Amino acid sequence: AQKVTQAQTEISVVEKEDVTLDCVYETRDTTYYLFWYKQPPSGELVFLIRRNSFDEQNEISGRYSWNFQKSTSSFNFTITASQVVDSAVYFCALSEALAGGTSYGKLTFGQGTILTVHP
């Protein structure tokens, strides 16, 4: 069975600090996708990034960066120079193949990490 673990339940930082959110996953699939979603206080889920299992390149998007390491089954998320608007719950998720195995869509979510950025 697939499993995603976000060991950090809550993180509190002061604005402009860098913060890393950890994500460790378990899967028997050789092909899978990893995701990060942001859930701000308003409640909606906002897609941040998708990474497939064959692409281990790190990715940077503005203040956000992601470190994918297959060897340790981790997909960590770093926010550089955090801002108050980054305060949210962040979810890591892992997809598995749908019936038939030709496409992917069933997501297994981690428990989420509550990030609070203080001014």
Cβ of residue 42: shortest distance to another protein, in angstroms? 8
- Bridge partners of residue 89, in order along the sequence: 39, 114
Which residues between 56 and 85 bind another protein (CB under 8 A)? none
DSSP per position, 45-102: -EEEEEEETT----EEETTEEEEEEGGGTEEEEEESS--GGG-EEEEEEEEEEPTTSS
Residue 50 binds to another protein (criterion: CB under 8 A): yes
Among 66, 79, 94, 110, binds another protein (CB under 8 A): 110
C-beta closer to another protein: residue 47 or 81:
47
Q: Pick from 29, 46, 28: which is nearest to 37 by CA?
A: 46
Residues interacting with another protein, by CB under 8 A?
4, 9, 33, 35, 37, 43-45, 47, 50, 52, 91, 93, 95, 98-100, 102-112
